[in-house]
A and B are shown apart, each in its own frame.
Chain A
Amino acid sequence: MFLRLVPLLVLAGCATTPAAPKNPRLMTVNEPPRAAEAPPSKPAHAPTLIRNGTVLTAAGQVFVNGHVVLIDGRIAEVGEGAGSPPAGALIIDAKGGFITPGLIDTHSHVGVYAWPGTIGSEDGNEMTNPITAHVRSESAFWPQDPAIWHALSGGVTTIQILPGSGNVIGGRSFVAHLKPEGSARAMRYPGAPEGLKMACGENPKRYYGGLRREPMSRMGVVATLRSSLQRALEYRRGQQKWQRDLELWRAKHTAEEGKAPPPTAKPDGSPDDPPEGPARDFGLETLVEVLEGKLLVHHHCYRADEMHQVLDVAREYGYQVRSFHHAVEAYKLADRLAAENVSVSTWVDWWGFKMESLDGVPQNVALVQRAGGRPILHSDSAVEMRRLNQEAAKARAAGRRFGLEASDDQVLRWVTANPAWALGIEADVGTLEKGKRADVVVWNGNPFSVYSLAQQVLVDGSVVYDRAAHRVPISDFELGLVDEKELP
């Protein structure tokens, strides 16, 4: 197998951020036991026409009396008027309500911190070392967590499942698509890149400081991050050297026509085996993927000065931060975040529960938007996840007090198109546009009213939630707990 060698990255002192390197996968020979790609989505059983509602596309267009046609799990048509149903179509009457893309949450721990909260289901933080880049949220994800399926009733169709923030590098995340399935692998959003969770500040330093070990200060947090990235760089160098040696060995041992067969022993008589590779380290391999721009970095960080620190480290090591999470002070460096194309996953009115969140303001989202950035409302809570639409509405109202206006379509992007971008799936989902994935929500009113609720939720063109229908809980856990006829 031919392997192209990867040029070393320019290191410290770099004045500008190099573009994410687009090199062949270094680890091809040494592939970790990666989860298989998700199986292709099941074809939708029937084409569907949703009509008689206001269509908010999150792509700049609003159809006040519009319709959407879904065929084979994709959006086939969006437009004005009642539309015409394809042959055999299921017709959903929006009854004068609203039709939007499915909502997307960039920050959730459902499945790894399940309902009901119990000691036995605390699986989101591997706090045995501040660096656990080798662990995966996917390994702990419990698809029977009722919280996953309660999110559907809030119009959420896609969520990123992150490890917690106890560690400086907490582990790999994955993007879950809310189709009722029995395994994380089957629920993986098809083709979504994986992410890596990192954390700044109080959480890692409080826990490890309590153990009297690094990091017990913010100095230690940043130093731990840098030394991990440096180790990854050196690990990659070792891999590259081995691959060069392997190439040379292969060249030497390739039989050529008309020449003597290659030697099988060294001149001293010892066997001339291929060079052995360095010991594999799945954590460092994960960080190498960060250096090569293959993993999307999601960094938990509250304070502006800490975000500056992280961006400086990222520049030094030549990678991008895809999204800062919580980021309650993003408004203080909104211009830099916009210029460096870093999205902001935040809340509206969570603030002051610890010192690093003290300067949170409800106008964070509106200010980041005003600066040309990419704000996102995230949940970090299975309860909050059910009302991301209301969080977006509050963010708009807060901005309006300061003259920062936003249209329905713009507000909707804070919980659809923008999170889709943060998760690297923006070409596939997050707006109602022809060809996009048929993840659609029908609301009984404007989704930014406190009185509105999702009525139907479609994933891949199939109805997975219908408020009006009596239904059996999706989670095994909830069976028999509430009379199914009594479910609200």
Chain B
Amino acid sequence: MNAALVVSVVLSALSIEHVRVELGDGRVLEDATVVIDGERIVSVGTGAGPAGATRIDGTGKTLTPGFIDVASPLGIKEVDQEPSTVDESLGGVAMVPGFRAADGFNPLSMRIPVAREEGVTSAVLAPGSGVLAGLGHWVPLTGAMNSMPDLKKPVAMFGDVGSGGASLSGGARGGLWLKLREVVADARWYSKNKAAVEQNRSRVLSLSALHLEALLPVLEGKVPLVLAANRASDILEAVRFGQAEKIRVVIAGGSEAWLVAAELKKAQVPVVLVPSNQVPGSFEQLRARDDLATKLGEAGVSVVIACNDFSRRRLRQEAGIAVSYGFARGKALSAITLEPARALGLEKELGSIEVGKRADLVLWKGDPLELSSVAEKVFIGGVEQVLATRQTRLVERYLERVKAVRP
């Protein structure tokens, strides 16, 4: 029985051989072999994989970890301007820490396959609006019905301490910080007086128990608080707030972060940024600069790269754009693999090609960050994905028509 089990394990293994591997931590292996079994990576080395394994010849190709979208609308926002398809946020409310965008996740979203064919294999579903907008949950982007997020395991709380948060708080930044301090104090009181709350012997709280409960993992340092901020002064406030409250803060946006890079480095606060968007497009970004990632990287700040198209197909392009402005190539790939995993505390499971981690892998023809390159194979949790989308179906249909008219 044992022998049969071993045989079946080997038969289910998949060995990708003679492949160039970008591990995700900045290192590269040439002519390497990566073996996956079940949903895990079981070996990373050289030479032939185990007997009985299915072999894939990776000669001339590059294997990378799947990319991670750290603040994603995938599956919770289908058609932006059609409200019946959008479950991303509770609009117009400043404080909804208990909101879970993941409750509205639809794995059958037609956007998910589009992100997947560009190498994006998992995402954190980010609530879209609020000083405390709600909890984010991790999902694999298989599009299968068994990919529903584990709602008991939030991986981050999302919020906004820039002009967006201010406009929800009476129109001034002071309003959002007032609310934030009040809610955090209430949550701390609540954590020590749950029985009193249940027995209706509570002092007046600014939020209901469900909302305060949702904040506890943040206050306990178990999950980070991802705060949108672009202005240097807002970023600094957020860093100080995190230090004072002993909260792990991640900055999202970060256009003027280069001006406070030393503080970010000292407090070990990562910055999530979109390289193409570093322009003075708002009053919070007047000191934006194209080489933001480079400047932060040189200062020792952890850089996570994000994109802002609705389908998240531009992650690798954004990483490439950062390189064009001097960001190290190795760091650029890390910024869409290992760094996002680290920023959200997922690095034991995800983000690099390492024994024991999830087999979320992409096999590329060409440089993974280059515009001409194509993902040939995508594995999520060890399962090879179908690389077809509603878009490819449309193209197949109309390409035939075009060829019929003009052979």
Task: Report A's interface with B, CB cutoff 8 A.
Answer: 115-118, 146-147, 150, 153, 202, 331-332, 334-335, 338, 349-355, 358-363, 367, 370-372, 382-383, 386-387, 390, 393-394, 396-397, 400-402, 404, 448-453, 477-478, 481-482, 486-488
Contact = CB atoms under 8 A, between A and B. Distances in A.
Contact of B324 (A350, A352, A355, A452): A452
B162 to A, nearest CB: 13
A450 B317 contact: yes
Given A353-B310, A449-B370, A450-B324, A115 B398 contact: no
B245 to A, nearest CB: 31
A397 B79 contact: no
Contacts of B320: 450-451
B28 to A, nearest CB: 17
B93 to A, nearest CB: 23
27 contacts: A115-B281, A117-B281, A147-B279, A331-B395, A335-B406, A349-B311, A350-B309, A354-B82, A360-B391, A361-B391, A361-B392, A361-B394, A361-B395, A363-B399, A367-B395, A370-B402, A382-B279, A386-B276, A386-B279, A387-B321, A394-B371, A400-B372, A449-B371, A450-B321, A453-B324, A453-B325, A488-B289
A362 B394 CA distance: 11
A352 B310 contact: yes
Nearest to A367: B402
Contact of A363 (B317, B372, B395, B405): B395
B394 A450 contact: no
B289 A150 contact: no
B79 A358 contact: yes
Given A334-B398, A350-B309, 6 more contacts: A117-B282, A351-B311, A370-B403, A402-B399, A449-B370, A451-B324
A115 B279 contact: yes
B291 A488 contact: yes
Contacts of A401: 374
B79 to A, nearest CB: 6
Contacts of A386: 276, 279
A481 B279 CA distance: 12
A248 B42 CA distance: 96
Contacts of A371: 402, 405-406
Contact of B372 (A115, A382, A448): A448
Contacts of B286: 116, 481-482
Interface in B295-323: 309-311, 313-314, 317, 320-321, 323
A353 B81 contact: yes
B314 A355 contact: no
Given A349-B314, A355-B79, A487-B289, A150 B279 contact: yes
A394 B372 CA distance: 7
Given A349-B314, A367-B395, A451-B323, A387 B291 contact: no
B372 A486 contact: no
A478 B280 contact: yes
A450 B280 contact: no
Interface string B379-397: 0000000000001101110
B281 A390 contact: no
B287 interface: yes
Contact of A331 (B78, B290, B314, B402): B402
Contact of B287 (A350, A402, A482): A482
Contacts of A397: 371-374
Interface in B115-171: none
Contact of A332 (B313, B323, B372, B398): B398
Contact of B290 (A404, A451, A488): A488
Task: Pick the most buried of A146, A353, A382, A478: most chain B CB atoms within 10 A of its CB.
Answer: A353
A450 B371 contact: yes
Contacts of A355: 79, 81-82
Task: Pick the most buried of A146, A363, A452: most chain B CB atoms within 10 A of its CB.
Answer: A363
Contacts of A390: 317, 321, 371
B287 A481 contact: yes
B220 interface: no
A450 B402 contact: no
Q: Sort A-B residue pairs by CB-CB distance and give the 9 closest, nearest first.
A: A450-B320, A354-B81, A393-B371, A335-B405, A353-B80, A488-B291, A361-B391, A363-B395, A488-B290
The dominant DSSP class at the B interface is loop
Nearest to B277: A383
A342 to B, nearest CB: 16
Contacts of B279: 115, 146-147, 150, 382-383, 386
Contacts of B313: 349
A352 B77 CA distance: 10
A234 B298 CA distance: 68
Given A359-B394, A450-B317, A478-B280, A486 B81 contact: no
B283 A450 contact: no
Task: Pick the most buried of A334, A353, A386, A450: most chain B CB atoms within 10 A of its CB.
Answer: A450
A202 B396 CA distance: 27
A200 B36 CA distance: 52
B120 to A, nearest CB: 13
Interface string B206-245: 0000000000000000000000000000000000000000
B252 interface: no
Contacts of B311: 349, 351-352
A124 B302 CA distance: 39
A367 B370 contact: no
A146 B280 contact: yes
Nearest to A370: B402
Contacts of A396: 372
Contacts of B395: 331, 361, 363, 367, 402
A372 B406 contact: yes
Interface string B97-120: 000000000000011000000000
B285 interface: yes
B372 A116 contact: no
A335 B309 CA distance: 30
Given A115-B279, A115-B280, A393 B287 contact: no
B369 interface: yes
Contacts of A202: 81
Contacts of B110: 352
A147 B320 CA distance: 22
Contact of A448 (B290, B371, B401, B405): B371
A147 B370 CA distance: 26
Contacts of A332: 398
B282 A116 contact: yes
Nearest to B290: A488
B115 to A, nearest CB: 11
Contacts of A116: 280-283, 285-286
Contact of B280 (A352, A361, A370, A481): A481
Contact of B406 (A118, A370, A387, A486): A370
A331 B398 contact: yes
Contacts of A367: 395, 398-399, 402
A85 to B, nearest CB: 30
A382 B325 contact: no
Contacts of B399: 363, 367, 370, 402, 404
B405 A450 contact: no
Nearest to B389: A361
Nearest to B78: A352
